[in-house]
Structure 1
Amino acid sequence: MNPKVFIDGEAGTTGLQIAERLKDRTDLDLISIHPDKRKDVDERARLINKADVVILCLPDEAARLAVSLVTNPNTVIIDASTAHRVSPGWVYGFAELDKGQRAAIAAAKRISNPGCYPTGFIALVRPLVTAGIIPHDWPVTVNAVSGYSGGGKPMIAEFEERQTQDNFRIYALGQQHKHPPEMKKFTGLSHLPMFTPAVGRYAQGMIVEVPLPLWALPSRPKRKDIHKALSAAYAGEAFVKVVPLAEGDALKGLDAEGCNDTNRLEIYVFGTDEQARLVARLDNLGKGASGAAVQNLNIALGLDEGAGLVA
């Protein structure tokens, strides 16, 4: 008998993307709620407890409510919202975080799907903090831009229905954003990073960049040392690629949409031995959301980790 999967919030941007990745799977049974009953708490509770795995694609408060409806001790919850990313008892669903993370995900009943910006940031910074190249108390800055799909239905409508004429917009100007606590916790930093997000007039795809003054770091690393540490951290990974230095140096620019419709995360180390530009490129709807959820689903069920995903 195939495991049953229920997407709570399947009509949203992330839910639709997950359903698209699962629709042709023969090793899963996808169960759905009738459109007229999407707000029926009793029907949602019935399907949640009927499923082997539930993927929550909901606003934070609705996700917390959904978790409170679980009575089946065998139901696995994968939460794509922000609600539980730094909560005790939840396993962080970034399989490449370290060598033991897949086993932790496989054993968990509560898995928090990473945010899109944090996925890129953590991929860049955590290995360098672990290696002692970036001190735990270093004042890290992260600059990033995403397609407007990252803002959900309201922002999609704003851009696609020409409610705004902006081609590029910075936001979270007051430094109040939901992602920095997650970034801090899973990199091992002592302080919140300085996070400067932006949105562009394109649907999906993102670039996350960490500028790093190598001359100021206590260990005085060279660019090749940064690249070596990142390459060692992701050696053998199917979805995280550390691009060779020569290949990166041959580029004149980097398109934020270059990983769209994949679960791939590319890492580049640009710059010099004085100033490095660490860059992660990913699809905010892929490895940054729905792709990661499907990857976590596969791990949780003991299936082929890459099933339904494009590297």
Structure 2
Amino acid sequence: MATRVFIDGEAGTTGLQIRSRLEGRADLHMIRLDESRRKSEAARREAINEADIVILCLPDAAAVEALSLIERRSVRVIDASTAHRTARGWTYGFPEMARDQREAIAESRRVTNPGCYPTGAIALLRPLVQHRLVPAGWPVTINAVSGYSGGGKSLIQAFEDPQAPGHTRDNFRLYALGLGHKHVAEMQQYMGLHHPPLFAPSVGRFAQGMLVEVPLQLWALPGAAGTDDIRRILAETYAGDRFVEVASKEETEALASIDPEGLNGTNRLKLFVFGNDKDRQLRLVALLDNLGKGASGQAVQNLNIMIGADEATGL
């Protein structure tokens, strides 16, 4: 029997991308509401309780409200909002984060899809904290740039539509200057840090794609780990994973730059270790599609795990 799936908020940026990845699958039955009924609470309640799995592509408050519409205990949820990423009782939907994470996702009734920035940052730093190469109390800084699609419809319109409110001609801008970005809490929790990382996000004039960077002064860290040691730890951590790859020393040293759009349209996450062993400095960099592994692709991957399908189906 096909798994019944309802995307609540399928008209949004993430919802549309998830739907495109799921269309045509014989193992799924997609429950759809026509445009006139999408905002009807009664229609949404009916669709939610008809589904086996509901994928929430909604603002935080609306995602919390949607959970209150669930009447059947058997309904499982993947929440793409920020609302439950550090909440008790929810499984963090980053399958490659830990050895037992896939099993936890497969058995869970409530899965929270990670944020795009945290996916890159956690992949880079969590293994180093676990191996005690970076102390849990270390003052971590995360620099990142995303395509403007990460800001949803309003930011997309601001960059693309000259008639839109807030239209901008900026090619690049920093934001979250008050140091209160909503992704900080999940990064701290799943990196295993004692203190919130200093997070410096930015947005560029490109629709999608993302770079996340964690700079490290190796000379200030305890121990004598060098560039090759750090790369080896990351490579061993993600060995055999289908979607997370660590660039080799040869590939890394041949690069003069990295294009943030380099993995667009994929569910891949690629990690780079750039080092200067003479000065004992390091730049850890993650490349991903903020709408792929950073959102819709990851949601589809989690869905596949939850229903026992091949993890890469549709990806």
Per the TM superposition, whether the score is higher than 0.5 is yes
Quote the residue 1:210 is aligned against: 214
Q: Distance in 2 between matches of 1:209 and 1:220?
A: 22
Q: Distance in 2 between matches of 1:245 and 1:167?
A: 32
Per the TM alignment, residue 189 of structure 1 is displaced from its structure 2 partner at its CA by 0.4
Quote the residue 1:40 is aligned against: 40
Per the TM alignment, residue 301 of structure 1 is displaced from its structure 2 partner at its CA by 0.5
| RMSD of Structure 2 on Structure 1 (CA) | 0.6
SS of aligned partner of 2:5 = strand
Q: Distance in 2 between matches of 1:52 and 1:305?
A: 18
1:227 aligns with 2:231: yes
Q: Distance in 2 between matches of 1:38 and 1:45?
A: 11
TM-score when scaled to structure 1? 0.99
Q: Distance in 1 between matches of 2:107 and 2:298?
A: 17
Structure 1 residues 6-48: Cα deviation after superposition (integer angstroms, max 9, x where no partner): 0000000000000000012111111111211111111101111
SS of aligned partner of 2:283 = strand
1:166 aligns with 2:170: yes
Q: Distance in 2 between matches of 1:21 and 1:198?
A: 28
Which segments of structure 1 move beyond 2 Å, counting only runs of 4 or more? none
User: Unaligned stretches of 5+ in structure 2?
Assistant: none
Per the TM alignment, residue 220 of structure 1 is displaced from its structure 2 partner at its CA by 2.4
Alignment coverage as a number of residue pairs: 309
Structure 1 residues 235-281: Cα deviation after superposition (integer angstroms, max 9, x where no partner): 10000000101101101100000000000000000121201100000
Q: After the TM superposition, which residues 164-203 of structure 1 pair with which residues of structure 2 at under 5 Å, given as runs?
A: 164-203=168-207
User: Unaligned stretches of 5+ in structure 1?
Assistant: none
Quote the residue 1:51 is aligned against: 51
Percent identity over the alignment? Answer: 59
SS of aligned partner of 1:128 = helix
Quote the residue 2:4 is aligned against: 4
1:209 is aligned with what amino acid? Answer: E
SS of aligned partner of 1:88 = coil
Q: Distance in 2 between matches of 1:67 and 1:303?
A: 25
Structure 1 residues 210-253: Cα deviation after superposition (integer angstroms, max 9, x where no partner): 00111110012100110011011101000000010110110110
Q: Distance in 2 between matches of 1:73 and 1:165?
A: 49
Q: Distance in 1 between matches of 2:223 and 2:37?
A: 58
TM-score when scaled to structure 2? 0.97
Q: Distance in 2 between matches of 1:213 and 1:117?
A: 22
1:245 aligns with 2:249: yes
1:282 aligns with 2:314: no
Match of 1:258 among 262, 265, 268: 262
Match of 2:304 among 274, 298, 301: 298
Quote the residue 1:31 is aligned against: 31
SS of aligned partner of 1:103 = helix
2:184 is aligned with what amino acid? Answer: P
